[in-house]
Amino acid sequence: MPVPAEFDGLRVVLVDVRNPLNIGAAARAMSNFGFPHLRLVNPYDVAFRNARSAVGAAATLATAEVYKTVAEAVADCSLVVGTTAVGHRDLQHSLVRLEKGAGAIRTHLAAGFCALLFGSEKFGLSKLDMSHCHWLMHIPTRDEHTSMNLGQAVAVCLYELMRDPSAVEKPAKGNPASSVELERMTDTLLNALRASEYPKLNTSKSFHGAVRRLVRRLRLQQGDAVFLLGMLRQMIWKMKKNEDAEG
């Protein structure tokens, strides 16, 4: 998947994060989804660049910038968005669900830089951290369990930023069987049923149509139609052979 150039304008800012594994996990999700710029405010462990869980995230960790304060980390950003788990805190900001907030961030990224802030594992963003934000965003979760793992929260936010609602399905290999091929399949299946002395074949007038519809519902690919035809022909051969032997 090609990465839009404006993703270069997002700064993922982790504030007071304690566990280097979480920094690594955040960096890995950033690498997966194409957001290169990681900033750390006051990380507890300066050895974060070696974070073990960061498979494929080495480049993101190597270029991560470290700041002492939130103010310095967001200085070049014209939009600052804080993430929060919506506990019982009395929020002073307007609070936007991720689905809506991501749209606003994407729009902003076309014009300027945006900082997306995540707080510490235990306490989230402080009131002081939040006072640097234009607004807050939350991931919609069950009311009974709103607190997400940091690496998972970063992954979900970045996914929402890059998801493409107009993405199209990769077609399965090969082409759908044509009507001629489906009709051949229908006939062969009916022949096999005849050979097996399937009872309904002669009693029900609508049976032929029922089999034709059944074959269409299978949505067969050309290759699979050939595959199944071969199986049925083999069975027909065997059934007739047994019959000849009996007769």
What's the closest the beta carbon of residue 28 comes to a second copy, in angstroms?
Answer: 6
Confirm if 24 and 52 have CB atoms less than 8 A apart. Answer: yes
What's the closest the beta carbon of residue 26 comes to a second copy, in angstroms?
Answer: 10
Candidates 42, 69, 141, 191; binder of a second copy (CB under 8 A) is: 141
CA distance linking residue 80 with residue 118, whole number of Å: 11
Q: Which two tokens stand for residue 29?
A: 């999700």
Query: Does 55 sit near a second copy (CB under 8 A)?
Result: yes
Q: Which residues contact 58 (CB under 8 A, 6 or more apart)?
A: none
Candidates 162, 192, 193, 195; binder of a second copy (CB under 8 A) is: 162
41 has which bridge partners?
Answer: 15, 67
Q: Which is nearer to a second copy, 93 or 106 (CB)?
A: 93
Candidates 4, 66, 69, 96; binder of a second copy (CB under 8 A) is: 96
Query: Does 50 sit near a second copy (CB under 8 A)?
Result: no
CA distance linking residue 14 with residue 118, whole number of Å: 5
SS3 (DSSP) at 235: helix
10 has which bridge partners?
Answer: 114
Query: Does 100 sit near a second copy (CB under 8 A)?
Result: yes
Query: Does 18 sit near a second copy (CB under 8 A)?
Result: no
Stretch (H or E) spanning 83: strand 79-83
Candidates 47, 168, 180, 245; binder of a second copy (CB under 8 A) is: 168
First to last CA, the chain: 64
Binding site for a second copy (CB under 8 A): 1-3, 25, 28-29, 31-34, 53, 55-56, 92-100, 139-143, 145-149, 151-152, 155-156, 159-160, 162-165, 167-173
